A and B are shown apart, each in its own frame.
Chain A
């Protein structure tokens, strides 16, 4: 199919802009305009790829908008975004060296190991947080049970390198030791916020990783 004049340049600039969406908060109008442009380009260049009109009405969560893996996105740009994102996790204190250790375990025999470990953590940790909240609300207070639950959460968080979660769990345990119920309540709220932030960041990270995965798998297969 003949290339529309100017379309590849426009496509590359739009793609580069879309990579930045994970870093920049757009207004609803800006987001809507960019979606419409992408819709027009896709219809011109890739008429077999159907973008339903409902995709024009996306929420203000750019990380939820998935691009076809490496068909449009510049691979090296995507890789740079992934590296930048991971570095920010360490610089901002969300993850520590344990996360690197998990990545070292990942290989061809277990290609999705890190994501699977994180998925286990994100699956189990809400249950623990709910149990902690439920136990805090009980009377008489059961600080031994609370300590046990937080110990589990701390261990799980430590195993993926979630250092902020781990530190807040230590604060909670100290409040348990002091039988300080109000301190436990405040610490729980902080733990829940840290957990929500970590979840959002890691999900965005793995969404980007999945976009380079098919290309990297093809490259590795040719070796």
Chain B
């Protein structure tokens, strides 16, 4: 996995995941791309972060979680006007892609995640972030 192409200010990543092992693996992957990582254990916590004024460049969001599911949280986050943030739906079922995309996700990644697909996504977010700062 190459990380040398990632440059500029760190990408602010939000992981919305209730399963510790998945959150740990994804955190480790994102750390290799020098991301600033925040973890929310369910959709409601993720929405609360945005209501508190926190800003993120990318969200990795699981589907089935207690309190609030991933798609429901994505809908609420988009309704707050957060149209710029890249949202990646992550779940074990391929048939769940539509529920993420309908809610406002940009990409769907099935679990277990292929680690080499994360790099290009982070690079794209990084490029967009640096271009907007110019």
Query: Of the candidates A113, A155, A161, which one forms a contact with B111 in the assembled complex, judged by CB atoms under 8 Å apart?
Result: A155
B64 contacts which chain A residues (CB < 8 A)?
148, 151
Interface centre among B1, B22, B64 (most CB of A within 10 A): B22
- A104 vs B3: C-alpha distance when bound (angstroms): 13
Interface centre among B20, B24, B28, B112 (most CB of A within 10 A): B112
Tell me the interface secondary structure of chain A in the complex: helix
Do A152 and B115 touch across chains, with their CB atoms under 8 A apart?
A: no
Do A98 and B21 touch across chains, with their CB atoms under 8 A apart?
A: no
B103 contacts which chain A residues (CB < 8 A)?
none
Supply 23 A–B pairs (Cβ within 8 Å), ascending by A.
Answer: A98-B112, A101-B114, A101-B115, A102-B25, A105-B29, A109-B31, A109-B32, A117-B24, A120-B21, A120-B24, A121-B21, A124-B21, A151-B64, A155-B19, A156-B21, A158-B111, A158-B112, A159-B22, A159-B25, A159-B111, A159-B112, A160-B21, A161-B112
B interface residues (Cβ-Cβ under 8 A, vs A): 1, 19-22, 24-25, 28-29, 31-32, 64, 92, 111-112, 114-115
Do A155 and B28 touch across chains, with their CB atoms under 8 A apart?
A: no
- A117 vs B28: C-alpha distance when bound (angstroms): 10
A109-125, CB under 8 A of B: which get 1 and which 0? 11001001100110010
- A101 vs B20: C-alpha distance when bound (angstroms): 18
At the interface, yes or no: A175 with Cβ under 8 Å from chain B? no
A87-113, CB under 8 A of B: which get 1 and which 0? 000000000001001101100011001
At the interface, yes or no: A164 with Cβ under 8 Å from chain B? no
A interface residues (Cβ-Cβ under 8 A, vs B): 98, 101-102, 104-105, 109-110, 113, 116-117, 120-121, 124, 148, 151-152, 154-156, 158-161
- A156 vs B24: C-alpha distance when bound (angstroms): 11
- A26 vs B114: C-alpha distance when bound (angstroms): 42
A109 contacts which chain B residues (CB < 8 A)?
31-32
